[in-house]
Amino acid sequence: MGYGSFLVPAMDYRRLQHFLAAVRHGSLTEAAATLEISQPALSKSINALEKSIGARLLERGRFGVRPTPYGEALLARGNVIEAELRNAQSEIDAMKGAHRGHVLLGCGPTEANRLLPRAIGRINRSHPELRITVLYGLNEALMPWVKQGEIDFALSSIPPHAADPELAHDHLFTESGAVVARLHHPLAKKRNLSMADLARYPWVLPRRREMERRALDDLFLAHGLELRDAAIETTSTVLMKSMLMQSDYLTFLPRELIYWELEAGQLTTLALSGPRWNRAVGITRRARGSLNIASRVLIEALKEEARKFG
C-alpha cells in the first residue's frame, strides 16, 4: 500500500494530533494531561484512527507507548502535516487582521548568543503579540527537526553546498573560528603560536561529528600533527567556557559564541599562524514546505541584524 492511499481516508486532524502527542510523550497519561482530555478519551481517539487506517499504530505496554512500523510511517508525515496546518492557521489569522502569530524555531548555541536576541528585540517593538518558541540544539538534532516539521526553521551553521534535497538554506553571514583560552592562560600573550604549542595543553571540545571539531582536526593535520583525544567531549558550550575560565584547557569555537566573554575580558583568542577557519551561518527550512507569516517576520529581522555581523 502506497503512503498516499495510507493517509487519504478521512483522517480526523484531531486524532492525528492525539497520536503525535502520545508518541512525543511516550505515555498516554502524560499526553492526555497535555491535551487536557481524559486518558480513556485519548485511547478511544487513537483506536478510531487505527481503525480508519487499518493498521496498529502504537505498541502499548508497561514501558508506555511507542510507534509500530506503521506508526513510524505516519509519524514521518504527521509532523509535517501538523506544521503546515499550524502555518495555515497563522496565515488565516494574518488575513483576518490579527497581529498574533507563533514561530517555533531551532537554534544553535552561537546564534542564541547575540543574533537571535537582537532580532527578537527588533520584532518585539513592531509585533508585540508574536509568540516565539526556541528549541536549543546542535545541527545533528536541528536538521531532522526541520525535515520532520517539528520546527518551522533552524538558525545555525549551514553547509557550503546544499547536500540534502529536502532542505533549503539561506545564508546570513560568515564568521571565523578561534582557539580560545582564559585571559591569563600561559599562551595568551605569545604571538605566532604553532599547532605544536597548542598540542601540549588539554582540550575540551565538541564531539567529532560537529563542524568545529572537524575543522580543528583538519588544522592540525595541515601542520602534520594529530590532535590527541580531547580530555573532555561535550555538547555543552556552558561547560566548555566554564572549564576554560577555571583552568588551562583550550577549546575551538566560533567567535560569535564568545562575543560577550571577550567583551568582559573573561576569555581570549590565541594568535595562531596559518589559515583561518570560516563557517556560514544561516536559515535552514524544508525545501517543499511553507513558512507562516510570523516566521517570515522573524527571518526578515534576522537578516536585518545579520547585516551588522561578519
pLDDT in tens, 199-214: 889 999 887 777 777 7
Residues 257 and 239: their CA atoms lie apart, in Å, by 13
Q: Average model confidence (pLDDT) for the chain?
A: 83
pTM of the shown model: 0.65
Residue 6 has pLDDT above 70, yes or no: no
Nearest to 157 by CA among 115, 119, 211, 112: 211
In the prediction, which pLDDT does 241 show? Answer: 93
Mean predicted confidence (pLDDT) in 50-72: 85
**What's the CA gap between 125 and 93, in Å, rounded?**
20
| Residues 228/232/238/243 CA torsion (nearest 10 deg) | -80
Least confident window among 5-9, 284-288, 294-298: 5-9
The residue that leads in pLDDT, 188 or 223, is: 188
Higher pLDDT, 304 or 55: 304
Q: Where are the domains of the chain?
A: 3-77, 83-173+280-306, 175-278
Q: Could you check whether 3-77 and 175-278 share the same CATH topology?
A: no
8 has pLDDT over 50: no
Q: 91 pLDDT band (50/70/90 cuts)?
A: low
The mean pLDDT value for 85-104 works out to: 67
83-173+280-306 CATH pick, 3.40.50.800, 3.40.190.10, 3.30.2090.10, 1.10.101.10:
3.40.190.10
What digits encode the pLDDT tens for the residues 97-135?
545 678 999 999 889 999 999 999 999 888 888 889 999
The more confident residue out of 2 and 17 is: 17
User: Residue 89 — very low, low, confident or very high, per pLDDT cuts 50/70/90?
Assistant: low
60-84: average pLDDT? 80
CATH class of 175-278: alpha beta
- Residue 4: the pLDDT is 40
CB 172 within 8 A of CB 279: no
Query: Picking from 2-6, 85-89, 184-188, which range would have the lowest pLDDT averaged per residue?
Result: 2-6
Mean pLDDT of 150-171: 90
**pLDDT (tens digit per residue) in 23-56:** 888 888 888 888 888 888 888 888 888 888 888 8
Q: What pLDDT is attached to residue 95? A: 59
Task: Say if residues 242 and 269 touch (Cβ distance below 8 Å).
Answer: no
Highest mean pLDDT (candidates 12-16, 69-73, 251-255, 299-303)? 299-303
The reported pLDDT for the residue numbered 24 is 85
* Domain 3-77 in this protein, CATH class: mainly alpha
